[in-house]
Chain A
Amino acid sequence: MNVEIIVAIILISYLRVSTLTYDVPERWKKPLKWGFFSALTIAVLDISTLLNSEISKVLSLFLVGGVIYVILRYEELHKGKQLVYAWLPLLLLSLLFEMIEYLFPAFFNRWDDYFTSIIFFAVVWGIAIWIINNKQRKTLEKEKIKALAREQEFKATEEMKIILEQQVAERTSALTAQKEELEKALSDLNATQAQLIHAEKMASLGELTAGIAHEIQNPLNFVNNFSEVSSELLDEMCDEIQKGDMDEVLALVEDIKLNMQKISHHGKRADAIVKGMLMHSRNNPEQKSLTDINALAEEYLRLSYHGLRAKDKSFNATFRIHLDPHLPQIEVVPQDMGRVFLNLINNAFYAVNERAKKSKEEGIDGYSPTVNLSTALYSDNGKGYLVITIGDNGLGIPESIKSKIFQPFFTTKPTGEGTGLGLSLSYDIIKAHGGGLEVISDHGLNPFAPEAHSEGDKQGTVFTITLPYENTTKL
């Protein structure tokens, strides 16, 4: 058997095995298979001497040459290159020596030993290169494995990164949507709140109208009556002048003068009520102005009282007014402060009316529904306070709901009767004025209006409004 066919078999077998760094190219699989079997066939035929050794030699040469050619020519078969370098010297030398043996047999025989040793060295060379090559290949493969692992890791990281980014994007968009939803809800709520405040305003105006009508009707009646009677008095005066009774004339003049004052007084009273009503219903930005709290509170007390009277014929209550005549005027938003008074006074009348109804049902005599309004000026550490108390001897506020009364929409009135905004708005208004609103209920402690409760009757409610008074003018 010749060297060529052995090398050919080694090369082809080698190429047919895939490693980590080398995959058997698809298009070479078949040729390599055929090459391998051809080489085997040649080898078998050569060994069994069925084939002439020269023919097998030539066939082997062609085969090994072809294999070497394709290895060097095609990059995809690069794996075989090292092997070619390992075995090429042996191939070339054995070919050379065979040619020498054939052409110069005497010379060959003489140096046969040397040639044999050269061949031996070529074999050693081939094996050495092969071993080195294998070693290198293994190192390469290790590195390749590491690189692959790193690549895998990198890929995994990348994938994780993509997933995370996606998740972040999803969360972000969800949060953005949520935020937008919340913003919309907030603006809806703001709009609703504005509407509700307006509705509450209109509702309290509605409660006012009956009171206003009554309050305007009374002064107008006086205006009409006093002007009528004045003209009668003038007729009488004419008679007295003709009679010459000058004392009587002078007395009539005095009466007419007084009547004119009354006409002017009641005209102004009606005027103030209309102005107050307009102020109450106005919706433009409300401005602070120097206000007489006594007059404002008393006006709203009357409006509330007459409003409730007009609405409910069975309603009645006594009100007492204790106004501090030295109360200074202070800067407030009059229509806002008016709403606070109206709310608190309406509540007070409501409470006494409920208690009156209850007493009647239970057959209890001697209950006299009373609402107290009082004002006072206090000073504490150089700071001045206006204290307005609205007290009633009504049902009182149960302990269980006392903490809730300033909450928006909290109401004990039947559905449709109260918006539940009165006290919460009042609280906001007083806070906006830098003041305080406090409630004492169910006991008779009322430092500013001791007459709110009759002896022994501890039931009732007192609201106390405190407004700061800057001592810029005079106390």
Chain B
Amino acid sequence: MKVLIVDDERDVEMLFRQKFRKEIKKGSLELVFAFSGAEALTILGDTNPPSVMYMFSDINMPGMSGLELLSKVKDRFPKLKVSMISAYGDKENHDKAMNSGATGFFTKPIDFDTLKREIGILLN
């Protein structure tokens, strides 16, 4: 299963790769990373449905914000699951994300146990 993670902080990639080390090794999970909204859209490409099954996106990014990305992605791929990850866990961000069709809303620092559970549900 292919999961796309979008965050402007590059070290997120290393962190995720280590956290999902076993799953990646087993081959049950494939992680793809994008460091901006634009890059994420390129990765998702024009194929519908996309090869990616789940997208996790940071909200606070220069250029296109995570929320903009969310609504664009939802426009193009309504069935793609998208969850937001933000340092700002305020109601405003949360409500906006949920109204735009987000599946979940995670706050930073990421609770990987919950995240793993979320992905686990999908894997099974």
Contact = CB atoms under 8 A, between A and B. Distances in A.
Interface of A: 214, 217-218, 220-222, 224-226, 228-229, 232-233, 236, 255, 258-259, 262, 266, 305-306, 309-310, 313, 316-319, 368
* Interface size classification for chain B: 20 to 34
Contact of A316 (B64, B88, B92): B64
B103 interface: no
B36 to A, nearest CB: 9
Contacts of A259: 14, 18
Contacts of A233: 18, 21
Nearest to B90: A313
B60 interface: yes
B87 A221 contact: yes
Given A217-B87, A218-B9, A218-B87, A316 B18 contact: no
Indicate the member of B18, B60, B93, B96 with the most A CB atoms within 10 Å: B18
A319 B15 contact: no
B15 A318 contact: no
Majority-rule SS of A interface residues: helix
Given A309-B60, A316-B62, 5 more contacts: A222-B11, A224-B109, A262-B11, A305-B62, A313-B88
Interface in B4-40: 9, 11, 14-15, 18-19, 21
Contacts of A236: 21
Contact of B109 (A225, A262, A319, A368): A225
Contacts of B63: 316-318, 368
A225 B108 CA distance: 10
A316 to B, nearest CB: 5
B65 interface: yes
A255 B62 CA distance: 29
Nearest to A217: B87
Nearest to B22: A236
A244 B11 CA distance: 31
B19 A229 contact: yes
Question: 3 tightest CB-CB pairs across the interface, nearest first?
Answer: A318-B63, A221-B109, A316-B65
Interface string B85-107: 00110001100100000000000
Contacts of B60: 214, 306, 309
Contacts of A316: 62-65, 68
Contact of A262 (B14, B108, B110): B14
B17 to A, nearest CB: 9
A258 B68 contact: no
A310 B88 contact: yes
A319 B62 contact: yes
Contacts of B14: 258-259, 262
Contacts of A305: 62
21 contacts: A217-B108, A221-B87, A222-B11, A222-B15, A224-B109, A226-B11, A226-B15, A229-B15, A233-B21, A236-B21, A258-B14, A262-B11, A266-B11, A305-B62, A313-B88, A313-B92, A313-B96, A316-B62, A316-B63, A318-B63, A368-B63
B38 to A, nearest CB: 9
Nearest to A368: B63
A457 B14 CA distance: 39
A346 to B, nearest CB: 15
Nearest to A266: B11
A106 B68 CA distance: 165
A212 B117 CA distance: 32
A232 B22 CA distance: 12
B87 A214 contact: yes
A266 B10 CA distance: 12
A305 B62 CA distance: 8
A232 B20 CA distance: 11
B64 A255 contact: no
A22 B114 CA distance: 130
Nearest to B63: A318
A318 B62 contact: yes
A220 B9 CA distance: 13
A443 B21 CA distance: 52
B87 A229 contact: no
Contact of B18 (A218, A255, A309): A255
Contacts of A225: 15, 109-110, 112
B88 A221 contact: no
